Amino acid sequence: MAFSNRTTERLARGEVALCMATRLARTAEIAMIADSCGFDAFFIDMEHCTISLDDAAQICVAALPVGVTPLVRIAGHHFEDAARLLDTGALGIICPNVSTRAEAESFVRACRFPPLGERSVAGAGALQGYRATPLAEVNRQGNAATLLIAMLEMPEGIANADAIAAVPGIDVLLIGSNDLCTAMGIPGELKSPKLQAAYESTAKACKAHGKHLGVGGIRADVEHVAALVKLGARFVIAGSGVQYLMKSARDEVTALRKATT
């Protein structure tokens, strides 16, 4: 039997899936930490850190028996990296800055087995626990377990949300709130009517095509997140390992300074 994808299962039930980001981790413990904290998934942020492909793969493999979903955000549209990560344990890929239907289709071609895509077949691997598995079943399991998340980070992507959502094989349209705000000339204005309109139009596109809305970059405002969940968001990026470490360290220093002065 193949390992299951907790996040896709939650999304299929209409539940909210919570995901944390990691840029610091280079060892497998991060999978157990994310699971222990109650996250459904974590993503290795290869777009904004220097983690190697090998380290990312080792972390993904370690996550499979733990049960938390290992995702990777690749650096740009380098889909050869995506395919190798899927072969070696990742259960999903986050693709940054998808702005057109053609880009979404290229993403799917690289990461889905036929008939949805053109991903090269490597045979039974990490997803199957390296158990002997008929090739047809390997391909079926790979397509079923793989979560493809297209990030909309530019106004063009929002304008094309309906066309992107219509692409078979795309599961989630994830709005990168901070990049989108920056591109719209309103950096940091996470409650701007412009951003709200982007959420609403993308939510409508997702609903029309049976896809899931994702939101990132607003985890500090729980009430805002809750409002977006009511709008239809089901994949929610929470904080990162950097943010959690810094918050905990600041709180500790504050407490110790207070106790020792």
Q: How does pLDDT run across 201-260, given as a tens digit for each residue?
A: 999 999 999 999 999 999 888 999 999 999 999 999 998 999 999 999 999 999 999 999
pLDDT at 220: 81
Burial class of residue 136 in the structure, from the number of CB atoms within 10 Å of its CB (0-12 exposed, 13-18 middle, 19+ buried):
exposed
Phi-psi label, residue 125: left if phi above 0, alpha if psi -120 to 50, beta otherwise: beta
Determine, yes or no, domain membership for 194. yes
Cross-strand partners of 18: 236
For the domain that residue 179 is a member of, what is the CATH number? 3.20.20.60
Tokens 């599961």 identify what position? Answer: 171
Q: Could you say which of 48, 78, 209, 224 is catalytic?
A: 48
Is a pLDDT exceeding 80 seen at residue 1? no
Assigned domain for 245 exists: yes
**pLDDT at residue 61, rounded to an integer:** 97
pLDDT digits (tens, 9 = 90+) for 75-125: 999 899 999 999 999 999 999 999 999 999 999 999 999 999 999 999 999
Residue 18 confidence (pLDDT): 98
87: which 2 tokens?
């072969």
Where does residue 13 rank: exposed (0-12), middle (13-18), buried (19+ CB within 10 A)?
exposed
User: For the segment 18-46, what is each residue's pLDDT rounded down to a tens digit?
Assistant: 999 999 999 999 999 999 999 999 999 99
**Residue 112 is assigned to a structural domain of this protein:** yes
Number of domains in the chain: 1
Structure tokens belonging to residue 48? 């904004």
Provide the pLDDT for residue 191. 94
Report the distance separating Cα 47 and Cα 96, nearest Å: 8
Query: Catalytic residue at 212?
Result: no
Q: Which residues contact 93 (CB under 8 A, 6 or more apart)?
A: 71, 72, 73, 74, 82, 85, 86, 107, 111, 146, 147, 148, 149
Note whether residue 1 is domain-resident.
no
**Residue 177, domain member (yes or no):** yes
Place of tokens 């949805």: 116
pLDDT digits (tens, 9 = 90+) for 129-168: 999 999 999 999 999 999 999 999 999 999 999 999 999 9
Domain containing 160 equals: 6-259
Q: How far apart are alpha carbons 242 and 35 in whole angstroms?
A: 17
- Residue 17 within a domain: yes
